[in-house]
Amino acid sequence: MQQRVVIIGAGVVGVLSAYALATRGAKVTLIDSQPGPAEGCSRANAGILAVGHASAWASPSAIGSITRALLRREPGIRVTRPTDPALWAWGAQFLRNCTASAHATNTSKLQRLSRMSRNLTQKIEADLGLTGSLRHEGGLYLFQNLAQFRAHAATLAQGGARADDQMEVLDSDALIQRDPALATMPEHLAGGIYSPVDSVGNCHSFTKAVSEVIARKFDVALHFGTHVTGFETDGRTITGVKTDHGARAADAVLLATGTGTAALTRQLGFAPAIYPVKGYSGSWTIRDPDRIPRLPYVDETELLAVACYGGQLRVTAMAEFAGQSDLSLPDTRLDVLRAYVARQFGDAVDAHSASFWTGQRPSTPAGPPFLGRVRRWDNLWINAGHGQLGWTMAAGCGDVIARAMTAETPTLRDVSSTARWLDAL
C-alpha cells in the first residue's frame, strides 16, 4: 500500500524531502502557510551551497564572540533581545557545545551532510531537467586581515578540512588569477581559501521549480496558504493533520517547519530547541558583470556573503538574536549592506535597484539539524534546524530522512543533533 506522507513546511528542506519521498513511491501532501514554496528562510538567502563553510558555530572561540556581541563589540553579531527566556534556554545548551570535542563532532556531522547534499543537488538538477539552475564551480573565503588569514590557513594545514575537499590556500595574486574580477575591488586581499565543492544558485527559484516538477511528475499534492491547526491522533499514532482547509489523512508526518517547530509541537508533548537567528540580505541589478566576481565568496573579515546569479548581486550579513517574531528591516542593519556594496562594487551595480529582505535561520544549539523520529510518536518525523546551512544541506537531509521513513539502508549515520525526545539519525 502506498504510504501517505504529510510534510509540513515547503521551504527548500521540505520540498527536497518531498522529492526524496516521492521518488521512493510515497504519496506526498506538502503543506505551507505561505502563498508558495520557499517564502520563509529560503526566500532570499545568499544562495551559496557553502560546503567549505560547514562548521559548527558552537566552539571554544564562540564564547568570546558572544561575549563581545553582548557588549556590542562584535560587528557581525547582534543581541537585541538579551532578556528573552527562550534565548537563555537555548544559549545554555549552546555553551555546552562549545568544547573542542563537541565542536569537532558537530562539525564532522555538518561536513558529511553538506558534501553528500551538494552531490545530490546536482543529481536532482539532472533528474528533473533543471540542469544549469546552479553553478558548480567552487567558492572563495576571503580575508582582508593577514593575521586572520594566516591563522585560518594554519588550521587547514593541521587537518581542519578533509583532504578530499581539496581546499586550496591562495595568496592575493592567486585569488585574482582564480577570479579576475577581484582585481577591481578596492579592499586589500590578504589571501583566501578556494573550495572546489561549493556551488551557487537562487534557492527560491530552484525550490519553486522543483515543487512544480514533482507535482507534475510524482504523486505530490501542494497546499499553499494552508495553516496547520492541530493533529488527529490514535494512541501513539498521528492519523491526520488538521488545517484551516480540512484534515489531511496521514500514515506518516514530517516536520520541516524551521523556526516555527516548537510552537507547533508543544501540543504533541515536545519543543525542539530551535532559535531564530535573524539575517539580512540585499539584491542589486548588475550593470557591469566584468566587475562582479563570478565565484561566490564569504568575506571572513567583514562577515558577509556575496554571490551573483540571474543578473543580480546578492549580499547577506548579520546574525541577530531578535526573538521569534521580529522581521523588521532597520536602516542601521541595511546600511551595512549598502556601504559594503558601494565600497566594493560602486557603479558596477544599480544602487537604486536595491531590494532588502530579512529571514530567520532556524538554529540548533549544537549546529546539526534535528533528523529522526520523535520518540513519543510512532510515525512523526522531523527535519528541521539547519541554521545558515539550510540550502547547503537540504538535499542530503531530505535523502537521509526519506531513507529512514521508508526503511531503506542509510548512506549516512550519526549526523543529527541529539535530544531526549528524538531517535536521532
**E strand map for 32-163:** 48-49, 77-79, 134-135, 139-143
pLDDT tens-place string over residues 28-86:
999 999 999 999 999 999 999 999 999 999 999 999 998 998 888 888 899 999 999 99
> What span, in angstroms and rounded, lies between the C-alpha atoms of 383 and 398?
8
pLDDT tens-place string over residues 96-115:
999 999 999 999 999 999 99
Are the C-beta atoms of 140 and 295 separated by less than 8 Å? yes
> What span, in angstroms and rounded, lies between the C-alpha atoms of 28 and 402?
12
CA distances from 300 to 144, 277, 278, 303, 425 (A): 8, 19, 18, 5, 32
> What span, in angstroms and rounded, lies between the C-alpha atoms of 200 and 168?
18
Helices (H), 48-158: 60-70, 85-96, 100-127, 146-155
Q: How does DSSP classify residue 409? A: P
> What span, in angstroms and rounded, lies between the C-alpha atoms of 314 and 308?
6
Residue 162 has pLDDT above 60, yes or no: no
Name which CATH class applies to 48-98+133-200+275-363. Answer: alpha beta
Instruction: Report the pLDDT value the prediction gives residue 160, as an integer from 0 to 100.
Output: 52
Query: What kind of fold does domain 4-43+204-272+368-424 have according to CATH?
Result: FAD/NAD(P)-binding domain (3.50.50)
Per-residue pLDDT band at 159 (split at 50, 70, 90): low
Q: How does DSSP classify residue 160? A: I
**Topology agreement, domain 4-43+204-272+368-424 and domain 48-98+133-200+275-363:** no
CA distances from 363 to 235, 238, 259, 267 (A): 31, 26, 8, 21
- pTM, 2 dp: 0.96
Q: How does DSSP classify residue 119? A: H
Per the prediction, the chain carries an average pLDDT of: 95
pLDDT tens-place string over residues 195-205:
999 999 999 99
Three cell numbers, residue 339: 556601504
pLDDT tens-place string over residues 256-302:
999 999 999 999 999 999 999 999 999 999 999 999 999 999 999 99
Residue 345 has pLDDT above 60, yes or no: yes
AA identity, residue 332: T
Are the C-beta atoms of 165 and 51 separated by less than 8 Å? yes
Instruction: Report the pLDDT value the prediction gives residue 165, as an integer from 0 to 100.
Output: 62
Instruction: Report the pLDDT value the prediction gives residue 188, as an integer from 0 to 100.
Output: 83
Where in the chain are the domains?
A: 4-43+204-272+368-424, 48-98+133-200+275-363
AA identity, residue 287: R
Are the C-beta atoms of 39 and 359 separated by less than 8 Å? no
Mean pLDDT for 305-323 is 96
**DSSP letters along 300-364, please?**
TTTTEEEEEETTEEEEEEEEEE--SS-----HHHHHHHHHHHHHHHGGGEEEEEEEEEEEEEEE-
Are the C-beta atoms of 227 and 244 separated by less than 8 Å? yes
Are the C-beta atoms of 29 and 7 separated by less than 8 Å? yes
The contacts of residue 257 (CB under 8 Å, 6+ apart) are 8, 9, 264, 384
Mean pLDDT for 366-390 is 98
Q: How does DSSP classify residue 182? A: G
